[in-house]
Structure formats: structure tokens, C-alpha cells
């Protein structure tokens, strides 16, 4: 059989077979590459995952949670969601460097815009406004309807001195709706102190004030206070705008109104609810509790503290926070149990016996309260404890001793509001009206936004034959609190004042 | 930079009156000055717990004796300066009125005029202010006498002010800004235009540093020099220093305040940074160290190598952890890159720090004060002198 020469064309069948072979080889090579590449890629991403930190005194639940999230991410290091979940685990437990790395990786893996937003939150905590702004510019490009990102971008731009960019971002935030709530079955709802639009308006007003445009700030803030009347920081900044405009009277009234509103609470968007849900860190949970005003978000606050206590049952800070919250909410019996537990934990803290005394007083267990408060005073001779002892003595029918304690409280803090008020009331009950009036004068000077102070001073003035001045005080009370029925009724009486002699020996009605 | 080795060449010695039985000291500020001008440095102490300003006098050398200078309700800061131009040191005292938060206008600016012989005459430059945290002197209107810059912290309501000296211990109040949380005011010519500007550190929810540019004659223009959008950043102290020794005034800045909510510790974002003066009242922030509860950074040449190092105390750290630090120093490699060295874990709750060569051996020493308003109470101090035994290098 003659050999086929080189130039001899291959038969179609042979060519087909060769092509198929080559394709098979290529397929095999590709398959090998694919099979080999995946672990190489995974290995590359795995090596970029943050290293689990060396834990020291963290709760076991926190360690387990973070270590588990780390295991999941290491098993699927190219999964944006797994890596982002690791970021959340670190973020919610105050490991910011690790969270930053994980979020960066998740974003690179093509994850949700939220991870870029969460990364911006990490930059924000660390005070890096430039990084915040850069990250959020990307976020708002991908999620232009997410109002919190615009508001935060405005804040960052303002801090960087880029006023126009700040204004543009605040304006956009103001025009967008609130984001939907983050679901957390079983948890009380976390209410925002004000909508994000109100915070954006606050930012706009700050930018206007910084540029010397107080009138524009006034307009923005008056509008926001019309729609969010309980937004304390807005009212306070409005007072500043009025001051800058030379409207001293309006400024004073705004300050008085602000004094009766909650102070500044940071805007809490749904991301923080998610972080709180994922947190096993008592410090983070207590931080979230503290950022919630007890009046607006008491149930949420209690829920956060109790979660912290579940994680660290002997955490003295959490015990103190919960006990104090319950005392403020007048749940004295529950608070008492916790303060006693706390006293075992921190026997050298002089404030705890005073708190126990306050709870006993609130429970009307005055004999015990007096004993405890006297013991507390041996180590904490401060205005509050003196006042509390005075209150107990007052309630147990010892006005002279109560007066003495109130005076001691005022020697330690001359503007102690409750001591001033109660001293005035005690003097009035004893018919010492001139001394009572003096105390209420001091109280009004120290606490001009207190309608009861004006009402009580008015009542004394009316009883001592000064109806015009009394009417002024009742009017001041009504200006602060238009629904104050005591002041309104008393104001009506100023039209028919008694003569001073008529009221001798008849103490006025006081709040 | 990674942490360096702990430093063991600082020898702590309590000075002044020791804490009374079960007393939890509340020292708000310590300042070093040769008040009696006898050639030996003394220590001035704002004791908010005892509600007084005291003088720990060094006389003779190495012997420290404390005496009360004035009863003051909430002493927060003292500056020793020749305010009336008669050649001796007067004392400018910031009076909070009450250490703990309050919106009441109970703050005041008090000047103790040095009448010689250890006697001081009290003048109230301003009162009825929001709680006053700081006051510093300087000729702000260029009329030849010394005016005052004032940080009225308040609580929700606060102010930054300057008080125009009208002579005969009378002052006219000028409000520069109505923001709560003014911690410090620094008087310096930041833009080198020949007039004294004011830098103000504003904490609370603002977390900003403002420069009030002085155009002369007491006309000021506010400029935001730096700010954090973390409303919980915890700004705690601002100090002037030419850290990079380029001839202009930079700012040393700590964020470590954790007094606002429990737990008063474990804020991983707390630390120390410096703001490099880039001219025209613009600044660049450089982080130089992490420390929970960082407060009162001071620049000094700890290791005598010709550059400025930084020492910092911690007022709020995780004190139940024995490894929590209360005093560190940051070693400068000459290029403003810093290596952290631990100095001490105890006493805890140190909120104020001053650096000066108290023993005259050529090596700067440190003085600290303890603010014990949260547990634990097992490692307390009032005033501690940390002698530099000169083994830094």
C-alpha cells in the first residue's frame, strides 16, 4: 500500500475526526480550566476575607455567631451574599476593620447596593467623611430612591465643606419618602424621632446658617416644625436662626419650646434595626438603646437592654441602664430588684444606694427609703440625694426637716428645679408665702420653660394680692403649655382677686 | 503603625492631697505653671468633685503641697496667663457650674487676679452662660489688652463666645456661634495674617472643629475646618502644636468621650489624630492612634530625639479588662508616623494630662488627673506625677 504523500488531501471523514478530536481536547482543556479556575478564584477571594479577631471577653454567642459567619463565607467566598453577611456579623459586633474588608469584597463580587451603603456606615463611624461621601455617591447612583443615603451624603458633604453638594443631597433626601421598615418579628417597632426629611431640612438650615443666610434657615425650619412639631433639634436651630435675625423674643420662645421637646436623637434608618437584630454585642445593643428616647421608643429601648442582658447577664452597665429606665418609667418594684442586684455587683458605687432609696420612696416605703438615703448620703452627699431625702421627710409629715434637706440640696446645686419647687410648696403649705414666692421666683429664673413654675408663682402672687403680676405668670404658663387648665382657671380668677387679708392662712393651690 | 513595646521608664507618684476615704475623685483638668515664679513648676488642679481650684506647689524642689485657691462650683479648665499685663500669672477659670449635664445657664468665666504673696482676687468676667468648659486669653481685637475666648458647652444649648476686655475687669460678651457641646477654644494665628483666630472643638451631635478667622478688630468669620458625620464620634480635646515643625500651628485632636451613655467604654472608633495646617485655614486629618476613651493629648519630645511625640490618657476604657490602657505615648519617627507604647493600665479613668519638666532634669514629665464617675472604683487617683526617667532611647 502506497503511503499517502504529505500533500495528499485528507479524506473528509478523517478531517471530521480530527476536528472532533481537537474540539474534545479543547473542551477537556476548558473543562480542566473551569474546574481548576473555580477553586483558584475561590482561594483568591478566601484569602482576602478578614481574619477572625482574637476574642477576649466577648460573650460566647458573639464568638459563635462571628465564627459561623466566617465559616459560611469561607465555604462560599465568591458569594456576595455570604461575604456581605460576614460583613454584617462584624459590623453589628463592632469589628469595623473586618466589616469594611468584607463589605468591600461583597461589593466587588457584584452584590446588592446595600453592602456599599453598609460600608459607608462603617466609614461614618470611623469619622472618615471623605470615604463616606465617595461610597454614598456610588450608592445613590444605584439606589436613587433611598432617602437615608441622600441624607447621609448631605451630612458628609457638609462636613467636607462642600456646601453646594450638601444642599443638593439634602434637597433630594427631603423630596423622597421614608424607607420601608425592616421586619423583626417579636420586636417592638423602632420609631424614628422624625422623618428623614426633617433631618434633611435640619441639614439645609445648617448650610444656610453657615453661609450667613438666617432667613432661609428660618423658612426651612418653620416649615419642618409645622410638619414635625416634636422635632427638638429643629426647634433649637430655629431659635438660633431667630437670634441671628435679631428676633430675640421669638428666639427665647423657641428655646423654651425646645426645652420641652426631646433632644437630638440620631436618625435611625432600617439598616440599624437589621444590625441590632444581628448583634450579639452588649455594647452595640446598649448604644442602640441609648439612641432611642425613652418617651418615643421606651419599649424598643427596654427590648435592646434586655437583649444585652441576655447575652451578658452580669453586665453592670446593662443592669444599670435597665434599672434606671424602669425607675424613670415608674416601675419601681422591678427597678428595685435590679438595683439590689447591681449593688451586689458594684458595692462601691455610691449612686446605687441612692437609686434604691428613690425606688423605695416611689413605692411609698418611706421608712426604708429614709434609712437607705441616709446611708447613701454618707458616701454621696449631692443635691439629688438631699432632695430625695427631703421628699421622704415631706411625705412623712416632717416639713421642717424636709425644708432643711431641700436647702441642703440647693446649697449643692442652687438651681435644682425639684428642690426649688418643693421648697416653695412646703413654705406655702406652712403659710410662709413670702419665702415660697422667693423660691418660685428662683425656679422661674432657673427653668423659664417650666409652666408649673409660672403657675405656682402666679398662685402665690395672687394669694398675696398681686393679681397683675399673677396674671403675667399664668399667661407665661399658658404660652408654654396652652392646655394648662390650672393656669387657665387661675388666670380667670385674677379678674376677681382676693384681698391679701382674705387669703391669710389659706395656702394657695399649687402644682 | 504596629504597636511598640511597653514603656517602663515612667515612674508614677501621687502628688497633692490623697483621696479621702471612699472619695471618688473628679479631677477635670491639670495644668503645669510656675505660679509663684520661684523657678519650680507647680500644678494647678480643677477638682470638680471638691468644687475647687487648687494649687499643688512645688517647694522646695521635689516636695509638693496642695492648697485651695478658690471655691468654684464646676471648675473645668484653668489657664495660667498674665491677663492684666502686670508681670505675674493670673488664672482664667472655666466654670461649668455643674459637672453633670444641664441646660441651665449656670456657667461662668472667673479670673483670679494674682495679687502677689499667694493671694488672688476673684473677678467674674461673665456669668449666666451655658456651662463653660474652656476659656483662653489673647488680644482678639488688637487694642493691646487681653480678651477671652470662651467655650460654653451647655448641654442641648451652648455657645462659642469671645469677651471683649473693656478694662477695669469688665467685659462685653460677643456670641460667635450657637452650637451645644463646645469643649475647647484655642487662640492662635492659624492663617498667619497677624491676628489671633479662635479654633473651637464642638462635640455633642455636631462633632466639628470650627475656625473663627479674625479679620481684625474682633470681626470673625466662621469656617468649618473638619467634621465627622458620626454623631457619636466623641470629640474630647483639642490642643495647638506645630507637630510637623513647618512654622504654622497644627491641631492635636482626640475623640474619646463616652460619658453620654452606658457602657462608658469600648468605642472602637476612639483615638487620636492631628490636623495638619495646609494654610488658608484648611486642615488635613491624620489618624495616629486608636485608644478607647482617648483624652487630653499633649505633644512633647518624650524621647529627646528632636521631634514631637504625643501622650494621651484614657478616661473611658473597658476597665474590667486588665489589659485596658489608661496612659500611652506615641513615638514619632520624625515623619509624623507614630508607634504606640503602653505606659500604664492603672490608675484608671484618667481624663486630663499635662507635660513639662517638673524636676528640671531636661526630660519632660507627665501629670495626670482621675475622673472617677463610673465603675470600677478600685484603681483611683487624684493627681499623679509620672517622672520621666530618661530611658526612652
Nearest beta carbon to residue A379 from set B22, B266, B378: B22
Label residue A507 by pLDDT band (50, 70, 90): low
Orientation angle between helical segments A196-210 and A214-227, nearest 10 degrees: 170
Helix, strand, coil shares of chain A as percentages rounded to 5?
70, 0, 30
Q: Retrieve residue A272's grid coordinates.
A: 440599624
Find which of A95, A127, A210 to mutate to test the B interface (most B CBs within 10 Å of its CB): A127
Does A473 reach chain B within 8 Å, measured CB to CB?
no
| Domain-embedded: residue A462 | yes
pLDDT of residue A380: 82
B284-310 pLDDT, tens digit each: 999 999 999 999 999 999 999 999 999
* Backbone φ, ψ for residue B250 (5° rounding): -95, 180
Instruction: Answer yes or no: are the C-beta atoms of A383 and A416 closer than 8 Å.
Output: yes
Q: Retrieve residue B115's grid coordinates.
A: 495679687
Question: With an 8 Å Cβ cutoff, are A317 and B264 in contact?
Answer: yes
Instruction: Reduce the DSSP state of residue B41 to 3 states and report it.
Output: coil
pLDDT of residue A5: 43
Nearest beta carbon to residue B375 from set A94, A95, A316: A316
CA-based nearest residue in chain B for residue A267: B231
Nearest beta carbon to residue B268 from set A94, A156, A447: A94
pLDDT of residue A295: 83
pLDDT of residue B92: 98
Location of C-alpha cell 462560599: A76
Residues of chain B with C-beta less than 8 angstroms from the C-beta of A94: 266, 268
Question: With an 8 Å Cβ cutoff, are A348 and B260 in contact?
Answer: no
| Domain-embedded: residue A222 | yes
- Which residues fall within 8 angstroms of residue A493, CB to CB, at 6 or more apart? A462
Residue A487 has pLDDT above 60, yes or no: yes
Instruction: Answer yes or no: are the C-beta atoms of A154 and A166 closer than 8 Å.
Output: yes
CA-based nearest residue in chain A for residue B284: A160
Q: What is the CATH number of the domain that holds A251?
A: 1.25.40.10
Query: How many angstroms away from the CA of B303 is the closest CA of chain A?
Result: 30
Question: With an 8 Å Cβ cutoff, are B262 and A446 in contact?
Answer: no
Question: With an 8 Å Cβ cutoff, are B318 and A57 in contact?
Answer: yes
| Domain-embedded: residue A255 | yes
Location of C-alpha cell 506647689: B57
Q: For residues B70 and B262, what is the distance between their CA atoms, to the nearest angstrom?
A: 33
Closest CA to A282 of A247, A317, A232, A256: A317
| Domain-embedded: residue A453 | yes
Ramachandran assignment for A215, one of left (phi > 0), alpha (psi -120 to 50 degrees), beta (any other): alpha
Residues of chain A with C-beta less than 8 angstroms from the C-beta of B156: 232, 236, 258-259, 263-264
Q: Retrieve residue B149's grid coordinates.
A: 475666648
Closest CA to A169 of A187, A157, A184, A160: A157
Q: For residues B174 and B218, what is the distance between their CA atoms, to the nearest angstrom?
A: 9
Question: With an 8 Å Cβ cutoff, are B156 and A290 in contact?
Answer: no
Average pLDDT over residues A393-421: 93
Query: How many angstroms away from the CA of A171 is the closest CA of chain B?
Result: 18
Label residue A510 by pLDDT band (50, 70, 90): low
Label residue B393 by pLDDT band (50, 70, 90): very low
Question: With an 8 Å Cβ cutoff, are B156 and A161 in contact?
Answer: no
Taken in order A150, A153, A159, A162, the sign of the CA dihedral is negative
Residues of chain A with C-beta less than 8 angstroms from the C-beta of B266: 94, 283
| Domain-embedded: residue A205 | yes
pLDDT of residue A500: 47
Does A59 reach chain B within 8 Å, measured CB to CB?
no
| Domain-embedded: residue A202 | yes
Does A283 reach chain B within 8 Å, measured CB to CB?
yes
**Following CA atoms A290, A295, A300, A304 in sequence, which dihedral angle do they give, to the nearest 10 degrees?**
30
Q: Count the helices and strands in chain A (H runs, E runs).
A: 26, 0
CA-based nearest residue in chain B for residue A255: B157
Residues of chain A with C-beta less than 8 angstroms from the C-beta of B208: 159
Instruction: Answer yes or no: are the C-beta atoms of B11 and B386 closer than 8 Å.
Output: yes
Query: How many angstroms away from the CA of A240 is the closest CA of chain B?
Result: 6
Residues of chain B with C-beta less than 8 angstroms from the C-beta of A151: none
Question: With an 8 Å Cβ cutoff, are A255 and B320 in contact?
Answer: no
Nearest beta carbon to residue B261 from set A152, A290, A316: A290
**Strand partners of residue B254:** B237, B272
- Which residues fall within 8 angstroms of residue B151, CB to CB, at 6 or more apart? B94, B132, B133, B134, B135, B160, B182, B183, B184, B185, B200, B201
Residue-range definition of the domain harbouring residue A493: 428-511
Nearest beta carbon to residue A126 from set B156, B208, B269: B269
Using omega within 30 degrees of 0 as the cis cutoff, is the peptide bond preceding B263 cis?
yes
Residue A347 has pLDDT above 90, yes or no: no
A218-258 pLDDT, tens digit each: 999 999 999 999 999 999 999 999 999 999 999 988 988 89
Query: How many angstroms away from the CA of B36 is the closest CA of chain A?
Result: 32
- Please give the helix or strand (H or E) that residue A156 lies within, else none: helix A147-159
Does A96 reach chain B within 8 Å, measured CB to CB?
yes
DSSP characters over A224-255: HHHH-TT-HHHHHHHHHHHHHTT-HHHHHHHH
Residue B70, number of CB atoms within 10 A of its CB:
18
Q: Retrieve residue A80's grid coordinates.
A: 456576595
Question: With an 8 Å Cβ cutoff, are B229 and A350 in contact?
Answer: no
Location of C-alpha cell 420641652: A260
Closest CA to B393 of B354, B344, B341: B341
Helix, strand, coil shares of chain B as percentages rounded to 5?
0, 50, 50
Instruction: Answer yes or no: are the C-beta atoms of A441 and A464 closer than 8 Å.
Output: no
Instruction: Reduce the DSSP state of residue B82 to 3 states and report it.
Output: coil
Of A259, A285, A313, the one marking the end of a domain is A259
Nearest beta carbon to residue A283 from set B104, B157, B266: B266
Taken in order B2, B6, B10, B14, the sign of the CA dihedral is positive
ipTM for this prediction: 0.92
B50-65 pLDDT, tens digit each: 999 999 999 999 999 9
Does A347 reach chain B within 8 Å, measured CB to CB?
no
Q: Retrieve residue B140's grid coordinates.
A: 482678639
Q: Do the strands B119-129 and B132-138 form a parallel or antiparallel pair, or are they unpaired? A: unpaired
Of A259, A282, A313, the one marking the end of a domain is A259
- Please give the helix or strand (H or E) that residue B148 lies within, else none: strand B147-152
Nearest beta carbon to residue B227 from set A56, A129, A447: A129
Residues of chain B with C-beta less than 8 angstroms from the C-beta of A95: 268
* Backbone φ, ψ for residue A91 (5° rounding): -60, -50
Instruction: Answer yes or no: are the C-beta atoms of B219 and B195 closer than 8 Å.
Output: no
Question: With an 8 Å Cβ cutoff, are B230 and A96 in contact?
Answer: no
Q: Retrieve residue A19's grid coordinates.
A: 476536528
User: What's the pTM value of the predicted model, to 2 decimals?
Assistant: 0.89
| Domain-embedded: residue A190 | no
| Domain-embedded: residue A265 | no
Q: Retrieve residue B67's grid coordinates.
A: 492648697
Question: With an 8 Å Cβ cutoff, are A57 and B255 in contact?
Answer: no
Number of Cβ pairs < 8 A linking chain A and chain B = 113
Instruction: Reduce the DSSP state of residue B34 to 3 states and report it.
Output: coil
The structural domain count of chain A equals 2
Question: With an 8 Å Cβ cutoff, are A264 and B323 in contact?
Answer: no
**Strand partners of residue B110:** B93, B124
Question: With an 8 Å Cβ cutoff, are A266 and B377 in contact?
Answer: no
pLDDT of residue A496: 58
Going through A65-152 in order, the beta strands assigned E by DSSP cover none
Residue A303 has pLDDT above 90, yes or no: yes
Q: Retrieve residue A335's grid coordinates.
A: 427597678
Query: How many angstroms away from the CA of A477 is the closest CA of chain B?
Result: 18
Question: With an 8 Å Cβ cutoff, are B208 and A159 in contact?
Answer: yes
Closest CA to A388 of A406, A367, A371: A406
- Which residues fall within 8 angstroms of residue A128, CB to CB, at 6 or more apart? none
Of A210, A241, A259, the one marking the end of a domain is A259
B216-261 pLDDT, tens digit each: 998 999 999 999 999 999 999 999 999 999 999 999 999 999 887 7
Does A356 reach chain B within 8 Å, measured CB to CB?
no
A87-104 pLDDT, tens digit each: 999 999 999 999 999 999
Closest CA to A443 of A463, A428, A465: A428
Q: Which of residues 303-332 of A touch B (CB under 8 A)?
A: 315-318, 320-321
Residue B181 has pLDDT above 70, yes or no: yes
Instruction: Answer yes or no: are the C-beta atoms of B243 and B299 closer than 8 Å.
Output: yes
Does A126 reach chain B within 8 Å, measured CB to CB?
yes
B325-352 pLDDT, tens digit each: 999 999 999 999 999 999 999 999 999 9
Residues of chain B with C-beta less than 8 angstroms from the C-beta of A375: none
Amino acid at each position: 500500500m502506497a503511503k499517502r504523500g504529505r500533500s495528499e488531501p485528507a479524506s473528509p471523514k478523517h478531517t471530521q475526526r480530527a476536528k472532533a478530536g481537537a474540539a474534545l481536547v479543547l473542551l477537556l482543556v476548558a473543562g480542566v480550566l473551569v474546574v481548576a479556575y473555580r477553586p483558584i478564584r475561590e482561594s483568591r477571594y478566601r484569602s482576602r476575607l478578614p481574619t477572625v479577631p482574637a476574642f477576649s471577653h466577648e460573650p460566647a454567642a458573639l464568638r459563635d455567631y462571628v465564627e459561623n459567619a466566617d465559616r459560611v463565607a469561607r465555604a462560599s467566598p465568591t458569594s456576595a451574599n455570604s461575604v456581605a453577611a460576614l460583613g454584617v456579623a462584624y459590623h453589628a459586633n463592632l469589628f469595623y476593620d473586618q466589616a469594611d474588608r468584607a463589605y468591600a469584597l461583597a461589593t466587588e463580587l457584584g452584590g446588592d447596593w446595600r453592602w456599599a451603603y453598609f460600608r459607608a456606615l462603617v466609614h461614618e463611624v470611623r469619622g472618615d467623611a471623605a470615604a463616606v461621601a465617595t461610597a454614598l455617591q456610588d450608592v445613590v447612583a444605584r439606589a436613587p430612591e433611598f432617602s437615608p443615603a441622600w441624607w447621609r451624603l448631605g451630612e458628609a458633604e457638609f462636613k467636607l465643606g462642600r456646601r453646594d453638594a450638601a444642599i443638593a443631597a439634602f434637597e433630594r433626601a427631603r423630596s423622597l419618602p421614608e424607607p420601608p421598615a425592616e421586619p423583626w418579628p417579636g420586636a417592638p417597632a423602632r420609631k424614628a424621632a422624625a422623618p428623614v426629611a426633617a433631618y434633611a431640612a435640619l441639614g439645609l438650615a445648617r448650610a444656610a446658617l453657615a453661609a450667613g443666610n438666617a432667613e432661609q434657615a428660618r423658612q426651612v425650619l418653620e416649615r419642618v416644625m409645622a410638619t414635625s412639631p416634636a422635632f427638638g433639634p429643629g426647634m433649637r436651630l430655629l431659635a438660633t436662626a431667630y437670634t441671628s435675625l435679631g428676633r430675640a423674643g421669638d428666639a427665647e420662645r423657641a428655646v423654651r419650646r425646645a426645652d420641652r421637646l426631646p433632644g437630638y436623637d440620631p436618625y435611625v434608618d432600617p439598616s440599624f434595626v437589621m444590625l441590632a437584630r444581628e448583634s450579639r454585642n452588649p455594647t452595640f445593643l446598649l448604644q442602640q438603646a441609648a439612641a432611642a428616647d425613652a418617651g418615643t421608643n421606651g419599649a424598643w429601648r427596654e427590648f435592646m437592654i434586655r437583649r444585652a442582658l441576655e447575652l451578658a447577664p452580669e453586665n453592670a452597665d446593662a443592669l444599670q441602664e435597665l434599672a434606671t429606665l424602669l425607675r424613670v418609667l415608674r416601675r419601681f418594684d422591678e427597678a428595685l430588684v435590679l438595683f439590689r442586684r447591681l449593688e451586689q455587683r458594684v458595692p462601691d458605687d455610691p449612686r446605687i444606694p441612692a437609686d434604691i432609696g428613690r425606688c423605695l420612696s416611689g413605692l411609698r416605703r418611706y421608712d426604708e427609703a429614709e434609712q437607705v438615703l441616709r446611708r447613701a448620703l454618707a458616701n454621696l452627699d449631692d443635691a439629688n440625694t438631699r432632695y430625695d431625702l427631703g421628699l421622704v421627710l415631706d411625705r412623712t409629715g416632717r416639713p421642717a426637716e424636709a425644708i432643711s434637706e431641700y436647702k441642703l440640696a440647693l446649697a449643692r446645686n442652687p438651681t435644682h428645679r425639684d428642690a426649688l419647687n418643693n421648697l416653695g410648696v412646703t413654705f406655702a403649705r406652712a403659710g410662709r408665702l413670702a419665702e415660697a414666692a422667693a423660691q418660685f421666683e428662683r425656679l422661674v429664673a432657673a427653668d423659664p420653660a417650666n409652666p408649673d413654675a409660672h403657675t405656682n408663682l402666679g398662685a402665690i402672687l395672687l394669694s398675696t394680692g398681686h393679681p397683675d403680676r399673677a396674671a403675667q405668670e399664668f399667661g407665661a404658663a399658658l404660652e408654654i403649655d396652652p392646655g394648662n387648665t390650672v393656669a387657665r382657671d387661675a388666670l380667670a380668677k385674677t379678674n376677681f382677686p382676693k384681698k391679701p387679708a382674705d387669703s391669710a392662712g389659706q395656702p394657695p393651690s399649687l402644682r | 503603625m504596629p504597636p511598640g513595646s511597653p514603656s517602663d521608664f515612667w515612674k508614677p507618684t501621687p502628688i497633692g492631697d490623697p483621696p479621702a476615704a471612699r472619695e471618688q475623685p473628679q479631677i477635670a483638668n491639670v495644668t503645669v505653671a510656675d505660679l509663684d515664679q520661684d523657678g519650680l513648676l507647680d500644678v494647678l488642679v480643677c477638682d470638680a468633685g471638691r468644687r475647687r481650684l487648687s494649687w499643688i506647689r512645688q517647694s522646695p524642689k521635689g516636695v509638693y503641697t496642695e492648697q485651695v485657691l478658690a471655691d468654684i462650683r464646676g471648675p473645668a479648665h484653668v489657664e495660667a496667663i498674665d491677663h492684666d499685663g502686670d508681670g505675674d500669672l493670673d488664672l482664667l477659670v472655666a466654670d461649668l457650674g455643674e459637672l453633670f449635664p444641664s441646660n441651665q445657664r449656670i456657667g461662668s468665666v472667673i479670673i483670679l487676679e494674682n495679687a502677689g504673696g499667694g493671694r488672688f482676687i476673684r473677678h467674674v468676667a461673665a456669668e449666666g452662660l451655658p456651662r463653660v468648659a474652656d476659656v483662653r486669653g489673647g488680644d482678639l481685637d488688637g487694642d493691646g489688652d487681653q480678651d477671652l475666648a470662651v467655650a460654653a458647652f451647655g448641654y442641648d444649648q451652648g455657645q462659642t463666645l469671645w469677651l471683649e476686655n473693656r478694662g477695669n475687669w469688665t467685659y462685653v460678651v460677643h456670641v460667635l456661634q450657637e452650637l451645644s457641646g463646645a469643649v475647647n477654644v484655642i487662640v492662635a494665628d492659624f492663617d498667619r495674617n497677624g491676628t489671633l483666630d479662635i479654633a473651637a472643638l464642638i462635640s455633642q451631635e455636631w462633632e466639628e472643629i470650627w475656625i473663627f478667622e479674625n479679620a481684625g478688630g474682633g470681626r470673625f468669620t466662621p469656617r468649618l475646618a473638619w467634621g465627622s458625620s458620626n454623631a457619636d464620634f466623641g470629640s474630647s480635646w483639642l490642643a495647638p502644636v506645630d507637630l510637623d515643625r513647618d512654622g504654622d500651628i497644627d491641631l492635636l485632636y482626640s475623640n474619646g468621650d463616652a460619658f453620654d451613655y452606658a457602657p462608658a467604654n469600648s468605642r472602637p472608633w476612639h483615638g487620636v489624630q492631628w490636623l495638619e495646617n495646609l494654610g488658608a485655614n484648611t486642615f488635613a486629618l491624620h489618624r495616629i492612634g486608636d485608644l478607647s476613651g482617648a483624652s487630653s493629648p499633649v505633644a512633647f519630645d518624650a524621647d529627646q530625639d528632636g521631634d514631637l511625640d504625643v501622650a494621651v490618657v484614657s478616661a473611658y476604657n473597658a476597665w474590667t479588662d486588665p489589659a485596658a490602657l489608661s496612659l500611652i505615648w506615641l513615638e514619632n519617627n520624625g515623619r509624623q508616623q507614630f508607634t504606640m507604647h503602653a505606659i500604664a493600665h492603672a490608675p484608671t479613668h484618667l481624663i486630663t494630662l499635662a507635660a513639662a519638666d517638673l524636676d528640671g532634669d531636661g526630660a519632660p514629665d507627665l501629670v495626670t488627673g482621675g475622673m472617677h464617675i463610673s465603675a470600677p472604683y478600685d484603681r483611683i487617683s487624684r493627681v499623679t506625677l509620672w517622672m520621666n526617667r530618661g530611658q526612652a532611647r
